[in-house]
Every structure is written in C-alpha cells, then in structure tokens.
Amino acid sequence: MKIVITGGAGFLGGALARRLLDAGTCAVGGVDAEVTELVLADVHPPASDLGEDPRVTVSTGPLGDDTGLLAGAGLVFHLAGVVSSAAEADFDLGMRTNVDGLRWVLERCRAEPAPPVLVFTSSLAVYGSDPAMAPVTAVDDDTLPRPQSSYGVQKFIGEQLVADYTRKGFVRGRSVRLMTVVVRPGRPNAAASSFLSGIVREPLAGERATCPVPPDTPVALSSPARTLDGILRAAAVDDSSWGSTTAMNLPALTTTPREMVEALDRVADGRPSELVDWRDDPAVGAIVRAWPARFETARARALGLQPEQRFEDIVRAYLDEVR
C-alpha cells in the first residue's frame, strides 16, 4: 500500500515514518497492509536515513506543488501545519497552511477512485476559556470546543472539513486531537508549548532553559510514543469501530512545570532543575492558560489507548532515545 505523510520531515512525521518502516506493515481501516511505498511530503527534506530507504519517496515543496502526491494512496497522515504561536503571529500563513493545505489534501483524496483513510492531527488548542463564559475545567468527549487562538480555530475548521468530507463519502476521515508532545528533541520551535520540552531537554544537555508560565500552571502532555500509538490506532480501526466523525481526544497526563522539573531531578544526575529560569511571559501564558489541562478520554480508552501515569517515565524514555 502507498502511504503518504504530509509533514514527513518533522519530528512526529519522521518518528511515524520510522515506526511504519520498521514494522513493514500497517493496519488500515481494519485490514493489514504491507508498506510498499511511503511518501514523505514536506517543505524540507527528511532525515537522510529515511530518504535512503528504497520504500521511501520524497516530495519537497509546498502542498499543491506535487499534483500526483496522493495518487493511489490508501492511507494519508496529514501532519503538516503551522504551529500555534506562528499561526497567531501570521494569520495569513496559518490560514493558507492549516486550512487551505488541508482542503487541498481532501480534494486530492476526493479525486481517488476509492476513498483513502485520512488521519488528521488536530490539537487540544480547539478548546479554550471563553472570557464571556465560565472557565473550562475538565474536558470529556462531549465538551464543546471554544478555541481562543487562530491556531485553535484553524484546527477546528479542519476537523469539520474532515467530518463533512467523510459524511459525503469522499474520504474515510479520522481526526485526533493531540496533547502537547514532550519531550521533542532538537531546537525549540514556534509553538507556544515549546518550552515544555525545553525545560527538560536543555537542562539535560547542561543548558539553561526558560519557563514562561508560573510553576503551578496545569498542562496536558503526552509522550511521542503514546502520541504515535493514538495516530496509528486511528488509522487501524474499521469505520464502525471508529464511530463518530467528531474528532477524538487522545489521552493526556496532567502535570505542572514544577512537577516536571522535580521529576527531572529524580531521574537525572545532579540537579538539572537549577538550570530552569522562571520568567513570566504574558503573551505565551495567555495562550497556554486558555488550554484545558484535564481530560477524560473514554472514547480513546475504548480503543485501548491510555496516558502515561508518571512524568518520570517520559523523561526516562527520552534519555534512552538520546543515548
């Protein structure tokens, strides 16, 4: 089967590609399929080890440039997008990438003789605390999204587009709302939540990091491995098991930056927490505090998905990967 990953050169896209290539097979809509061709589409080329795999085809450039990108694909993972702070700072870029880019993918899927399975990665940013209403405390599968950022609005629009194209039979869509993924390797990106990886990653490397929100700010996290589990599970199940076209919240571990750095000290040598500087940034804080931090994900649990139980386990997994 031909599988396409948009955003295939990114952190999650690359990790997803490696998992698919290592397995050699992938469950798609209730049927096991061999990974015969894996297309990695991004504005940047993927890591060299991925590009050298004979099963991998690389498509470099903006979505829309490669008109044959999705031809013959049985499964599409749409991970490409502009992240939260960048979408807030550049409204036109966010709309062009997060909305128009998804619409292009959906139209290419619609043109296929058989509708492919499409997994769209949305975000917890679709939720927010409307200043005219009571604050959102806990979120369950029926909580109404009220995004309070351009990024959240764009992701919510994307969910509705996927749902309607699925209702019309143009695509077999599954939207999953990702929690903040920690720990991301590499350098910080433009996401408002990027510091949550930074306050772990940089101290472990002996570098200083800044936390722009108060230490006891609650946040919802997931590890890279559990996030990939959710993405792949969405692709794997048949249409009946997936059920509603409404987006599904992936499981979350609720914690705080203070608890995160305390866990860091328990797992790592020395006291890496002493390398974290606490400097409140009102702009970042306003975005992060608008996101809910407590989730009840019964629908995901019914599909066998569970959150991490301790942040220490996430830190240990990251250290094992780095080593």
Known catalytic residues are: 151
- CA 120, distance to chain mean position in Å, is 9
DSSP state of 307: -
**Cα distance between residue 161 and residue 142, in whole Å:** 19
| Other Cβ atoms within 10 Å of 157 Cβ, number | 18
- Yes or no: say if 39 and 57 are a contact pair by the CB < 8 Å rule: yes
CA dihedral 217, 218, 224, 228 (to 10 degrees): -140
Chain length of the chain: 323
Please count the other Cβ atoms lying within 10 Å of the Cβ belonging to residue 141. Answer: 17
Location of structure tokens 């890496």: 272
Q: Rounded distance, CA 125 to CA 287, Å?
A: 9
Residue 91 DSSP class: H
